[in-house]
Amino acid sequence: MKPLILITNDDGIHSPGLHAAISAVHGLGDLLIVAPSVQQSAMSRSLPPLFDGRIHRITLNYDGLSLDAYHLDGSPAQAVLYGFVEIADRRPDLVVSGINYGENLGINTTISGTVGAALQGGDMGARAIAFSLETNKDYHYNHSPDVDWTYASHWLRFFAKQALNHTTWPKDVTALKIDLPDAVTASTPWRMTSQSHQSYYMSRRTNRQNLEDPGALDYEVYIDYDQLENDSDIYAFAVDRVISVTPLSTDLTSRVSLAGFEKTLRSDSGKRSF
């Protein structure tokens, strides 16, 4: 039986990035396409309770392909969850989330709907890839036709093959987060990285005079290069301009000595007087 590949994203069913992902993995297995109906960026792994469960069938036509697909008015993680539980005829072997407009780096990774969908799939027993391409910030929330997906598709196919060929991953790897610089080519090196402890995007305050006026926070890339870890995803991506491949885990336990930290919390020394 061919492997089953579930393809999703956080930019919506009509995103050219999703269609590029479909083209990239076509022929590697049976495809199950389940994505949000509309833009769902920054939804992380949320399962919004307002989603009513309705799933809609659609035919996607891209690059000469005509494929059945499904979309729902829920989050990326819900697209994966419903894909596994109600749509798939067997458990997917691989979840591909992307190709996303814009990179997901550092501690901002936890915000990403692209990453949240991959973590949902990995948590349900599939190998999972969250795949993102650096784009102009103006494209993060729209389906710009100006983005060239050629080399992103090339690398997605490469990593999808690697994931399917290696049927077991280390126990603590839930998903791979892969971020490509915008100047990526077929010969761009890739590097295994850790997630930086820095933020990659910094929120900017609005210029409104009244808090009751409309005014969503803007954001911009900000990197503290003096404190940046040499083995991190931000360093590989922003400094060396190579492909960053970061193994992620859903184990959020802090990597500290539990006994030592417990001793600190139980200690009376250093306590503030209130």
pLDDT in tens, 92-107: 999 999 999 999 999 9
Strands 55-62 and 175-180, sheet pairing? unpaired
123 band by pLDDT with thresholds 50, 70 and 90: very high
| Residue 158 covered by a domain | yes
Reported as a pLDDT band with limits 50, 70 and 90, residue 270 is low
Closest CA to 71 of 154, 13, 9, 123: 13
CATH number, domain containing residue 246: 3.40.1210.10
Closest to 239 measured CA to CA, from 186, 204, 177, 196: 196
**What is the span of the domain harbouring residue 141?**
4-197+228-266
Adjacent-strand bridge partners of 58: 69
Confidence of residue 274 (pLDDT cuts 50, 70, 90): low
Structural domains counted in the chain: 1
175 domain residue, yes or no: yes
Within a domain: 150: yes
Residue 85: φ, ψ to 5°? -85, -35
Residue 217 in domain: no
* Residue 209 counted as domain residue: no
pLDDT digits (tens, 9 = 90+) for 2-34: 999 999 999 999 999 999 999 999 999 999 999
* Residue that has been written with the tokens 């499904």 in this structure: 70
In a domain, 204, yes or no: no
Model confidence, pTM: 0.94
